[in-house]
Chains A and B, each alone.
Chain A
């Protein structure tokens, strides 16, 4: 599975959009980009995933560059409850046995 690179920490004002970048320059054509977040002492929570098109759901938007070497997770209106560590992962989506390797993630702090 391809490796991802994320900034170790970011902060954002409450109510503003939080944009979290992720580099995955070695991503393969059949690998999806997944985003998860982990709030302290809990299991990771699924946010969104995509292959090459931009995606949006009730939690966030995922913007994937045309060359698929990087992506951005957007939380449109950050709240204090969005404070968490955010992980960007790439893996083969349809393969149940494909490993999920976590990088160090981005610790997002939302300030009031």
Chain B
């Protein structure tokens, strides 16, 4: 089946630095990818919809200048957390849809810890 690869699995960074998370569709092309954030014991919260070759669409309350999304190709979307602070510590997950069927596939997630 289709695979979505997310990297890194975990990252620890100092407050004020930027962190980039990559999401790749390994064996299919994804014109649209989705980025989620999940805090402990909570459900996944949709942050933004990433569209290949165009600007991402952010959900209400998500700062687009803080969470930069780039979808430069049909197989790669990146999320950059700029000037990260401890409150940005969370589990970030991407997902993509394979165009040939209705299934949705998720990456394994990235645990971000900001010190």
Contacts and interface: CB of A to CB of B under 8 A. Distances in A.
B46 interface: yes
A64 B107 CA distance: 28
B49 A105 contact: no
A104 to B, nearest CB: 5
Contacts, number: 58
Contacts of B8: none
Contacts of A100: 34, 46, 95, 104
Nearest to B108: A43
Interface string B31-63: 110101000000111100101000000000000
B93 interface: yes
A101 interface: yes
A97 B51 contact: yes
Interface string B2-30: 00101000000000000000000000001
A41 B32 CA distance: 24
B49 A99 contact: yes
Interface residues of B, number: 27
B43 A103 contact: yes
Contacts of B45: 102
B70 to A, nearest CB: 17
A111 B72 CA distance: 46
A22 to B, nearest CB: 14
A96 B104 CA distance: 9
A45 B106 contact: yes
Contacts of A43: 4, 6, 93, 95, 106-109
Contact of B97 (A45, A96, A105): A96
A38 B43 CA distance: 10
Nearest to A46: B103
A32 B102 contact: yes
Interface of A: 32, 34, 36, 38, 41-46, 49, 85, 87, 93-94, 96-97, 99-105
